[in-house]
Structure 1
């Protein structure tokens, strides 16, 4: 493997780099943007793909990742690097023991990919990394010629990229759009009521139940670029991601970081307990006070904090957490958040942290085994990569993985949107259903759809 790093054009829109992928023949693409745009990365193509199946998916990929970096030859300018190459993008299924459907074809239980081209927009300056898989008998001169040719094709594509965002209507018209719940709202609320009864009988303390809605559009296919553009405009405070593969694109704007590792320091967060934003400043502050004072939301949040601290105990030393939760305010929803930090023990990696932390009680429930069993038995949904880790890792073990919430899977004329809520002993089914509607708004807006006020619409 050989890598070449060079400065990218200052001021260039990273979304253009993502948009040129199809014109270069790349069916696999990745977009990653951290809150505030402090780090944006775009990967095109794949020169090495690591896949895993089953409950051991994290360990399988950790071993394959270590083997790959041990074999890598890197030619780079370290002073310019915001990460240590090679860097791989990846994602995981929420639960490998859930029955899988054709919806998530091409998205295995675990996947890490080394892109052919990696654009990084971060301090100290933008960089371009070219990854090449080199066979032992490869002619070095021919290899050099091939690399130059690839860079020339890339430069030509960047000189005349497609419009971002592509031409699109402001709002999809009702005549061209059909919106439906995969499970009728009444049936989903009955799931919630059943979970509450089980919790009150002592089966578990909390379970997160998800649901999905499907958008069918007749006039054109769903494309990721306009959706990413809208998400970028409206959700700068979130993690933005898009992963295109096998004719589908999974994308979203999630507020929740699962784990970040940098130089041995590890950070995660508890994000649980939600309320809508208010329409006025007074209403917004009132709802914030109600959220902070809600015993239901505080109890749900504290479960997550305690479980995350316990998970880090097997990986880290010097574990600290905020003494009280604070508000995390997004465009249309607000959450309770607690920051938790630690220092990785020598020889431990971020991929091992994923195994310990996922699924957190914020997306699965507590206790974990009982909650997952309840989800498998009653949710009636193939979550796929929804509510699971998605992100990147580099050769030094640095990386960042978010929880893939506020997301949708696009495939042709169809988009499937996902949302869920934490169910505890005093949960109200109608309120939980309303909460999922708030959470759908991010992706509905990104896809150019205005939500109506009909409470029974989806």
Structure 2
């Protein structure tokens, strides 16, 4: 027997609609006896391809799969993007009738922001705007070894219960659908874009930093392009990321024929009712091909003055920001190693008691951290706009989810790529400081392309 949305909740929504004289979002949450967010994502390929998202946290204790766009927000140039999402979320909350306050369930918005809302937008990023979020029709939430279904339906004065029945019939059809494996595709083109231009920019930035002692760091990013002999599959991307990129967030955001995806190690902000937490991830070195070689590389990173200085900028900035919004701020002990398949980083955490802090206010203040922008922040961003001849789009920017009660989690969208039909654009960056050697920094960005190259089947240069 299929799931039935309670008619009592529908009638409550209709009464609320009459009293408020406006449409109502009916958000019903129920626990599923069995289910998998990834499996539902795959089952919905036919019905909702181009209108799905997937999220898995670093600890793999939370997975979200969203299908369909019951509400969509695209932030246009000139709008305050964080305020736009806050305003939409609060408006929808005021119009919502729900049976649950379960975290990461119900009226959850998922999406991301652009890295820099003052940069000219390139054609491949135009449909994402300065921010792109949507509230799904169906949301499957896996957490704490339990699985929940959220159904979000806008109701107007003329709607009757048969509308709800039609939506639930659509869910049953998806839940019963067979998963058809998408065909494998081969990478037939690999193009590293504008390396000479990037080297010249890095050289200019090194000179600038040597002549401007008040500036400590500027992050420069670059791109590469891959071409394939068929259309890229979100389901295969997720499967490859889960298999290959442990200790990382896994995200996929579909927008028509475009898909932004990645496996990032870096939390920007986690918010529950009582606590806010951020992670300081900066400084990097490759992994070794043996346990001993890996340990030597890790020890080198932990004792490298340049990388320790880069990490220190991040820790100090995040700590100062959290102290603006939180009480009892705590910073974890000395830097430790965060190891991914191809890269290892220096890692610490900063947390505090939340109080009245709004999640999006804190997110605005944190972005971009020195790990993705540089330090001081404003001056570094000015240099990036002058010297970086590309649009980062959502690369390096916040991506994640926020629920109706202002709880959620955002990661920094590094180790990421934008897929469009049969092509993909990969992004990577590194921190330039006064004693940087541009050729060495270029080699570091090549290491940072590796995770998405693996995911997409491009040519991976194995570590030695």
TM-score by length of 2: 0.90
Mapped to 1, the partners of 2:79 and 2:433 lie a distance apart of 27
1:381 corresponds, among 378, 390, 412, to 390
Mapped to 2, the partners of 1:306 and 1:350 lie a distance apart of 20
Post-superposition offset of 1:25: 4.1
1:201 corresponds, among 211, 235, 242, to 211
When the two chains are superposed, the root-mean-square deviation of aligned CA atoms in Å is 1.9
Q: Is contact 2:217-2:376 (8 Å) kept?
A: yes
Post-superposition offset of 1:159: 2.0
Post-superposition offset of 1:14: 2.3
1:192 corresponds, among 196, 202, 208, to 202
1:4 aligns with 2:28: yes
- Gap change, CA 1:9 and 1:438, over 3 Å in 2: farther
Mapped to 2, the partners of 1:368 and 1:20 lie a distance apart of 44
- Gap change, CA 1:90 and 1:22, over 3 Å in 2: same
1:63 aligns with 2:79: no
Between 1:17-26 and 1:194-203, the stretch displaced more is: 17-26
Q: Is contact 1:223-1:410 (8 Å) kept?
A: no
Post-superposition offset of 1:425: 1.3
In the alignment, structure 2 segments of 5+ residues that lack a partner are 1-24
Q: Mapping of 1:26-41 within 5 angstroms?
A: 27-41=50-64
Mapped to 2, the partners of 1:225 and 1:125 lie a distance apart of 22
Cα-to-partner distance string for 1:355-404 (whole Å, 9 max, x where unaligned): 10000000000111110011111111110111000000111111000000
Post-superposition offset of 1:89: 0.8
Helix, strand or coil at the partner of 2:155: coil
- Gap change, CA 1:223 and 1:83, over 3 Å in 2: closer
Cα-to-partner distance string for 1:283-341 (whole Å, 9 max, x where unaligned): 10000010000000000100111111111122111111123111101111000011000
Q: Mapping of 1:325-336 within 5 angstroms?
A: 325-336=335-346
1:151 aligns with 2:190: no
Count of matched residue pairs: 438
Helix, strand or coil at the partner of 1:106: helix
Q: Is contact 2:326-2:352 (8 Å) kept?
A: yes
In the alignment, structure 1 segments of 5+ residues that lack a partner are none
Q: Mapping of 1:304-323 within 5 angstroms?
A: 304-323=314-333
1:226 corresponds, among 222, 228, 236, to 236
1:161 aligns to what? 178
2:460 aligns to what? 451
Q: Mapping of 1:43-442 within 5 angstroms?
A: 43-53=66-76, 54=78, 56-76=80-100, 81-83=102-104, 85-123=106-144, 125-135=146-156, 137-139=157-159, 142=160, 144-163=161-180, 166-168=182-184, 172=186, 177-183=188-194, 185-202=195-212, 204-217=215-228, 219-346=229-356, 348-442=357-451
Q: Is contact 1:4-1:131 (8 Å) kept?
A: yes
Mapped to 2, the partners of 1:322 and 1:354 lie a distance apart of 20
Q: Is contact 1:82-1:124 (8 Å) kept?
A: no
